[in-house]
Amino acid sequence: MPRAILCILDSVGIGGAPDAEKYGDQGSNTFGHIAEWAADGRADRQGLRHGPLHVPNMDAMGLGAAIQLSSGTVPPGLSAVAKRGRFGVGREVSKGKDTPSGHWEIAGVPVPFDWGYFPQSEPTFPPKLIAEFIQRAKLPGILGDKHASGTEIIAALGEESIRTGKPICYTSIDSVFQIAADESHFGLDRLYEICEIAFELTKPLMIGRVIARPFIGEDATSFKRTGNRRDFAIAPPEPTLLDRNKAAGNQVYAIGKISDIYAGQGVTHKIKGTGIPQLFDKTLEALEMAADRAFIMTNFVDFDSEYGHRRDVPGYAAALELFDGLLPQMISKLRHDDLLVLTADHGNDPTWPGTDHTREQVPILVFSPSLSQGEIGIRSTFADIGESIAHWLGLSPGRHGVSFL
């Protein structure tokens, strides 16, 4: 009986979105620009790495061919020929370029509404919202109240936060309200508690997520975010692929931040993990436990959070090679009728101005020992991914998207 594994390589976009100009992202290409940087010799001269980007396993699944289909050019070191499985390109129809939009659409539910966003002005958050948040959460006040990079604002305000007991509140171009506090001094449970209060207050504004951003350390030189991040998210407006598979009596393994993104809906097994190797290992463990018709979904967040937002090109390149080197372990454990899908939820080009996501198309790489080779073209919605997995698992078709299997 079939099973399906869906790996979201968070932010590994491949350029070519027809509406990128609307978002100020025309010309962005996360994977393509990283590959060009690795191959042009600058990285070698600076001692950052040696040689072109090396991802032979994803390339064999059709990554180079998918990028050529999306942006018209094969990146250096990759091939235009897929050696196994099927490849194609996903095009998002949901508005925005944030995590919930991409993930919900991948799971068969395009976002039918506009998210709420906070302005670029400072202070950023509505005074009435902050006043009620401070009162209900019994806080001495907040720090931040602006658009910021998480690591930078923690470095700048972390010591004051520890000294005063005030959490750091900030946002980005995405529909988020983020709250950072020290795990030891402020307390992890206390951070989660005030995030729940903030979520209640921001939900009417259609802010997609309130994110708890715990960190540890005693000063700016030692502060480090931990793996205890938690997203408090608005629930999808209709049943996703996760809900549909659970309703059919099947297992749904949500690994990494997947459960948070879907507000816990449709999940039978929630598994946390930190870092690409651990998340990969957790996925393999789920595969060992998974029964017939199980659906396993993993978000590999480090591409986005550790390297994309930080505009760390060498770090992003190394992470891609790390994941690619692990991939044969997963392929070797697939049963004859298992399906493996690799894709992404948006872009985050580390060579692009700013620190935010980029509107891009995404690769769709599909493999099963029982599946023939071929091209699936440019799909008109990410929802085709969810519908293809639903078809593989024997579920009835959903309202959005068409299977390419």
The residue extents of the domains of the chain are 3-112+237-393, 127-233
CA 326 remoteness from chain centre: 19
Instruction: List, in sequence order, every beta strand (DSSP E) within 243-337.
Output: 252-255, 269-271, 295-300
Specify the residue for token string 């060009």: 36
Specify the residue for token string 């080197």: 325
Partners of 253 in the beta sheet?
269, 296
**Which of 119, 46, 167, 85 is closest to 339 using CA atoms?**
85
First to last CA, the chain: 16
127-233 CATH? 3.30.70.1250
**Which of 28, 12, 8, 90 is closest to 317 using CA atoms?**
12
Cβ atoms within 10 Å, residue 387 = 24
pTM of the full predicted structure? 0.91
- Determine the Cα–Cα distance for residues 388 and 405; give it in Å rounded to an integer: 6
Specify the residue for token string 């998207």: 401
Tokens of 292: 């017939």
335: alpha, beta or left? (left if phi > 0; alpha if psi -120 to 50): beta
- Given the DSSP bridges, would you call strands 168-171 and 338-343 parallel, antiparallel or unpaired? unpaired
The values of phi and psi at residue 86, to 5°, are: -125, 150
Q: What is the pLDDT of residues 339-395, one digit of tens each?
A: 999 999 999 999 999 888 999 999 999 999 999 999 999 999 999 999 999 999 999
C-alpha distances in Å from residue 360, one per residue of 11, 21, 93: 9, 10, 11
Partners of 342 in the beta sheet?
7, 365
- Determine the Cα–Cα distance for residues 99 and 107; give it in Å rounded to an integer: 12
Q: Would you tell me which CATH number, out of the four given (3.40.720.10, 1.10.10.10, 3.40.50.150, 3.30.450.40), belongs to the domain 3-112+237-393?
A: 3.40.720.10
Q: Per-residue pLDDT for the chain (405 aa), expressed as one digit of tens each?
A: 899 999 999 999 999 999 999 999 999 999 999 999 999 877 777 777 888 999 999 999 999 999 999 999 999 999 999 999 999 999 999 988 889 999 999 999 999 888 999 999 999 999 999 999 999 999 999 999 999 988 899 999 999 999 999 999 999 878 999 999 999 999 999 999 999 999 999 999 999 999 999 999 999 999 999 989 999 999 999 999 999 999 999 999 999 999 999 999 999 999 999 899 999 999 999 999 999 999 999 999 999 999 999 999 999 999 999 999 999 999 999 999 999 999 999 999 999 998 889 999 999 999 999 999 999 999 999 999 999 999 999 999 999 999 999
**Which of 289, 98, 329 is closest to 207 using CA atoms?**
98
Length of the chain: 405
Element (H, E) at 104: helix 99-106
Residue type, 334: L
pLDDT of res. 281: 98
Element (H, E) at 92: none
